[in-house]
Structure 1
Amino acid sequence: MSGGAEHEERAYVYMVRCAGGQLYTGWTNDPGARLHAHKTGKGAKATRAMGAKRFAYLERCADKSDALRREAALKKLPKAKKEALCGEWEGKNLPRLSVATRADAADILEIYNWYVLNHTATFQVTPSTLEEYEDWVDNTRKVAPLLLARDAEGKLLGYACAHRWHPREAYDWSVESTIYCAPDARGLGVGTLLYRALLEVLDACGYWNVYALVADPNPASEHIHQRLGFSCVGRTPHTAYKWGWLGLSTWWLALRSGSEKPAPIRLASPEETAAILKKYGSI
């Protein structure tokens, strides 16, 4: 599952890097959605004119009032101090990719259960247990390597993996992708980085089709899937009820095409996986 609406109120102050190097300062309660609005010309007049590219700085605040005060303070800083803040933040938050083991289950579970309790990106409503997720990690790694992104201090920023699309043998060459980012890491490019690495790993394993289920509507998630080459192949309204009725869209990406009998799936070797992750910034 990907995308969806958030149930928990949060507040952030941010600086967005624009196409010409300028910095735009603002506040938001949803970093991912706000960056998407800036990049598509729906955020602010300034970013429409300058062309928003990415977050250069993001700071969690206690509430909206705190975020507004911090926003005002940042706007008063000279450009050099703003750049120093951005440089320090970017150095700390640059994602380092690695492959998960059973020992990473607790960190993965912390992110996932936040979405269970606060977001419609998953339709699960009851939090999972550590024991369940330790087994989940082991089972997931049988399909393809489970990828992690951590910051310089080791904090988990997000994870990406794949599961069988259907249990019957004829579906062996099709998988469903799963991407989750830590709440404070959304909008930082972590999800796209993990997704691109995951797709390369799945291609190395010999898979033909990747499917993604997206809570509907979710323009930001749909934009990411479109950018990565996915096509929407179906929408079903009133599919699930979580704080209200939700729809579901199915997205499909073909990694291969043809009519020949496919070769058996094999797990990408540690060496192959390491070479792919190195391209995206492995630990």
Structure 2
Amino acid sequence: MPSERTEVQVRPGVEGDLEALTDLYNHYVRETPITFDTAMFTPEERRPWLLSHPEDGPHRLMVAVDADSQEILGYATSSPYRPKPAYGTSVETTVYVAPQAGRRGIGTLLYKALFAALAGEDLHRAYAAITQPNTASARLHERFGFRHIGTHHQVGRKFGRYWDVSWYEKEL
């Protein structure tokens, strides 16, 4: 487990990260309602997702790694908000932090890097969907200027119960 003093580097995600990123995401699929995916992924199944986030453009993947071990501590993405062309200047953002790396500011580092990378892009709004309850995620998004714009009540069913999803919006 990394120590609290470990230096963290944030960089664009690359093909070599695929297995570790898949493992991290699968933790959230298996253990939490944070994602509404219910079946685990193989790295090959996640490859199209990784390839849809190049090192430039509006759809990015930023990865936080331990500077010494290169262990992946988390990632943040900006992805298409919806597929229709008029939505092209909007993105949906998300952050996933490795369970052993929580409460170390990894999400903040990732969002700082992501929004810095997006600063030169032709983007107008960012949206984030947060399964409730998730106070830590709501606080992170609010620190970055997101504001709550509404909640879909009982919109997803996972682990035998229904979950609300709150939507947040940020001007870019």
Out of 149, 152, 163, which is 2:64 matched to?
A: 149
How far residue 144 of structure 1 moved from its aligned partner, in angstroms, is 2.9
Identity %: 32
1:214 paired with 2:130, answer: yes
Out of 94, 111, 114, which is 1:178 matched to?
A: 94
In the alignment, which residue of structure 2 is the partner of 1:126?
A: 39
How far residue 89 of structure 1 moved from its aligned partner, in angstroms, is 2.6
Q: Matched residues in 2 for 1:212 and 1:206: separation?
A: 18
How far residue 117 of structure 1 moved from its aligned partner, in angstroms, is 0.2
How far residue 222 of structure 1 moved from its aligned partner, in angstroms, is 1.0
In structure 2, the CA distance between the partners of 1:143 and 1:228, relative to structure 1 (3 Å rule), is closer
Out of 105, 112, 117, which is 1:201 matched to?
A: 117
Out of 92, 98, 110, which is 2:23 matched to?
A: 110
Contact kept? 1:235, 1:247, Cα under 8 Å: yes
Q: Matched residues in 2 for 1:237 and 1:252: separation?
A: 18
What TM-score do the two structures reach when normalised by structure 1? 0.57
Q: Matched residues in 2 for 1:146 and 1:236: separation?
A: 26
Contact kept? 1:144, 1:201, Cα under 8 Å: no
1:223 paired with 2:130, answer: no
Contact kept? 2:59, 2:80, Cα under 8 Å: no
Q: Matched residues in 2 for 1:179 and 1:89: separation?
A: 21
Amino acid at match of 1:182: A
CA deviation profile, 1:92-132 (whole Å, cap 9, x unmatched):
x3211111112211110010001000011101110112112
CA deviation profile, 1:235-274 (whole Å, cap 9, x unmatched):
011111112211000000001xxxxxxxxxxxxxxxxxxx
What TM-score do the two structures reach when normalised by structure 2? 0.91
Amino acid at match of 2:73: L
In the alignment, which residue of structure 2 is the partner of 1:163?
A: 79
Secondary structure of the structure 1 residue equivalent to 2:142: helix
Out of 149, 158, 163, which is 1:233 matched to?
A: 149
Secondary structure of the structure 2 residue equivalent to 1:205: coil
In the alignment, which residue of structure 1 is the partner of 2:4?
A: 90
Contact kept? 1:144, 1:205, Cα under 8 Å: no
CA deviation profile, 1:66-86 (whole Å, cap 9, x unmatched):
xxxxxxxxxxxxxxxxxxxxx
Q: Matched residues in 2 for 1:149 and 1:90: separation?
A: 14
Contact kept? 1:109, 1:133, Cα under 8 Å: yes
Alignment RMSD: 1.5
Q: Matched residues in 2 for 1:143 and 1:129: separation?
A: 26
Contact kept? 2:58, 2:122, Cα under 8 Å: no
Secondary structure of the structure 2 residue equivalent to 1:105: helix
Q: Matched residues in 1 for 2:139 and 2:52: separation?
A: 30
Q: Matched residues in 2 for 1:224 and 1:146: separation?
A: 18
Contact kept? 2:58, 2:118, Cα under 8 Å: no
Could you say which structure has the higher strand fraction? 2
Contact kept? 1:158, 1:179, Cα under 8 Å: yes
How far residue 143 of structure 1 moved from its aligned partner, in angstroms, is 4.0
Structure 2 residue ranges without an equivalent (≥5): none
Secondary structure of the structure 1 residue equivalent to 2:45: helix
Number of aligned residues: 168
Contact kept? 1:99, 1:147, Cα under 8 Å: yes
Q: Matched residues in 2 for 1:216 and 1:190: separation?
A: 21
